[in-house]
Structure 1
């Protein structure tokens, strides 16, 4: 494992949100970065050029955001709305509504739909190509066992993580019922779910400093591969401190992944070999969100206090964009020993 000197590192973007950063996302087409915040804004940056390109608004906290393409994006808010933003013109419109704050939003290129999850215990799918207005764009409403906390997409698969540690897995081609209904293997509240880029499973994090690696394959051999591990913990003066794991982001090239916690630390993991590859030194605040750029060369880090210690003085919220070195994210090759030599060595012992 290697570590950086000084603060976690990277270029700090200008004009950051004035309140908590709820999420940030890189575009799949460029180095544009979309940022949602509790200050009721959605900000669009050019991360490589370090420029704020646009600002859009809700009437309450914005809880999530995602790109449609490089010309537009979507956001989800505590004002119960799902909104579309056209970057070139500044045009905004309400795509639809829920009956409670909308916690999650994703755009599925496979289905051509916007998918939202809400604290009203529903998942909704919207057609953004239709005329504006809820009745014209709503494709379907799917009831969940509890409030939706996090959703993730890979291909035609959708993973929905809710309160009560429920996990529903859908096939977007048939949303009539979940393909699988599961319970999180972690004992405490889910914070984040993200799918493996290769489409074989998902990673799930909790408030209790753990990450679970799960697989879609329900066979005995498929389920035998799943595991969970502890992270974002420390011991000081004989006391153990455990921090929520707020964010997970997979590297698009290597399939390794980063985690960010309330300890202000970003770790990079090789899930296949069950090893930590890298740890950046501490950022000023909790890590509330992470995102790799489309080519994996940039990592955006939201350093944003998440009120885990209550309303206490804290550093201003910041967005850092760091250049990613291959050594930080590329899995290290396994060192295979000669079986005959290994047997002789054991015999000598």
Structure 2
């Protein structure tokens, strides 16, 4: 049964090209990640202390496993293994075939970020203990620890390169460190950039930063004047109501693997697709029930997973139910014009 047919049967359809996953998390969604080899499988981590594996094509939950506390991030190592970390400080790997998990190691504070860098075959974790750690998934074991100026809030990896965002709450000091990864045990800091407003997400493919002030910046690592002239920033995820402009945080970024365009999701409940080459918005989807907490394109670029999940912007108030939507995207929505 196709994902759409299964959704229609369960009553979870939201449109001709989109459906809501059934058996979703019971609390806020922290991350959605597609399998590196197929658009069929999706990992979803949540504040309900679980990581769930979904079969998107059948709109069904294949399995879930538990942490001792809310899970803040997850990632595939390969199609058969998931890694995850969160407020219990534990880094886990879970065998998706045998439904068995292993505690790989720990940080001294909550683990905020979990990513895989296939070029050097390491898992990368960022923590509020002010460190980034590399893990050899074959052993598994700690393959290196790199102290950061402050606690790590978000990170992204791409082709041997690691960008880490740090935040010091006490002095509100913001910076991005960019590292060159070499082998699985070393990392050389290339540049550290100071920022003005709190960054919500960093994503490579240039790289792109989003912030709580409704802005997105397209940056480049090449220090040459010619390349640096290409960088720019723009305002987005802002709404005018009763003549007053409301500014919303931009919480999520995901790049399209084929066209190198990218999607942003904000606390305004909207998802936008951007063409960074021509500096324009390609499209905007309908408004979702609540904040967009996480986004992920499938590896072939055919699907976009959208986590509509309240992020406590207004405190502990009544809000729409947390949900994950799967949207089929087209070239008309994602290809530069």
RMSD: 1.4
1:341 matched residue in structure 2: none
Preserved contact between residue 30 and residue 73 of structure 2 (Cα < 8 Å): yes
Which residue pairs with 2:199 in the alignment?
190
Higher gyration radius (CA): 1
Q: Give the Cα–Cα distance (whole angstroms) in 2 for the partners of residues 314 and 114 of structure 1.
A: 35
1:146 Cα deviation after fit: 1.0
Cα contact 1:8–1:282 (8 A) shared by 2: no
Match of 2:61 among 49, 52, 60: 52
1:81 and 2:90 correspond: yes
Give the secondary structure class of the aligned counterpart of 1:111: coil
| Alpha-carbon distance in 2 for matches of 1:54, 1:43 | 6
Q: Give the whole-Å Cα distance in 2 for the aligned partners of 1:239 and 1:285.
A: 20
CA distance in 2, matches of 1:156, 1:290: 23
Query: Which aligned segments of 4 or more residues in structure 1 are displaced greater than 2 angstroms?
Result: 6-9, 174-177
Q: Secondary structure at the match of 2:226?
A: helix
- The 1-side partners of 2:294 and 2:18 are apart by 15
Among candidates 253, 257, 260, match of residue 252 of structure 1 = 257
Q: Does 1:40 align with 2:49?
A: yes
Which among 24, 30, 48 is matched to residue 22 of structure 1? 30
Change (3 A) 1:256 1:53: same
**1:338 aligns to what?**
none
Residue 32 of structure 2 aligns to a residue whose secondary structure is strand
- How much has 1:46 moved relative to structure 2? 1.2
Match of 2:276 among 271, 274, 280: 271
User: How many Å apart are 1:107 and its aligned residue?
Assistant: 1.1
Q: Relative to structure 1, is the Cα distance of residues 283 and 253 closer, same or farther in structure 2, using a 3 angstrom cutoff?
A: same
TM-superposed CA distance for 1:54, in Å, is 0.8
CA contact (8 A) 1:7 1:282 kept: no
Q: Deviations over 1:24-66 (max 9, x none)?
A: 0011101210000000000000112211111011000000000
- SS class of match (1:178): strand
Whether 1:143 and 2:147 are equivalent positions in the alignment is yes
Unaligned runs of at least 5 residues, structure 1:
1-5, 132-136, 333-349
Instruction: Please state how far the C-alpha of 1:7 moved relative to its aligned partner.
Output: 7.7
Structure 1 residue 252: deviation in Å? Answer: 0.6
Alignment partner of 1:115 is 2:87: no
Work out the CA distance in 2 between the residues paired with 1:286 and 1:18: 16
Can you list the C-alpha shifts for 1:291-336, whole angstroms capped at 9, x where unaligned? 001111101000000010111111110010011121110111xxxx
* Whole-angstrom CA distance in 2 between matches of 1:261 and 1:73: 27
Task: Indicate the residue corresponding to 1:180 in structure 2.
Answer: 191
Say yes or no: does 1:316 pair with 2:316.
no
- Between stretches 318-327 and 174-183, larger displacement belongs to 174-183
Partners of 2:299 and 2:223 lie apart in 1 by: 30
**Counterpart position of 2:309:** 304
Structure 1 match to 2:218? 213
Specify which structure has the higher proportion of strand: 2
> Following the alignment from structure 1 to structure 2, what is the Cα–Cα distance between the partners of residues 213 and 230?
12
Structure 2 unaligned regions, length at least 5: 1-13, 168-172
Report Cα offsets for 1:133-177 as digits up to 9, x if no partner.
xxxx11111011111111111111111111132111111117354
Q: 1:88 Cα deviation (Å)?
A: 0.9
Which structure is richer in relative contact order (CA contacts within 8 A, separation 6 or more)? 1
Counterpart of 1:285?
A: 290
Give the deviation of 1:8 after TM superposition: 11
1:9 deviates by 6.7
Give the conservation status (yes or no) of the 8 Å contact 1:8–1:281.
Answer: no
Q: Give the deviation of 1:80 after TM superposition.
A: 0.5
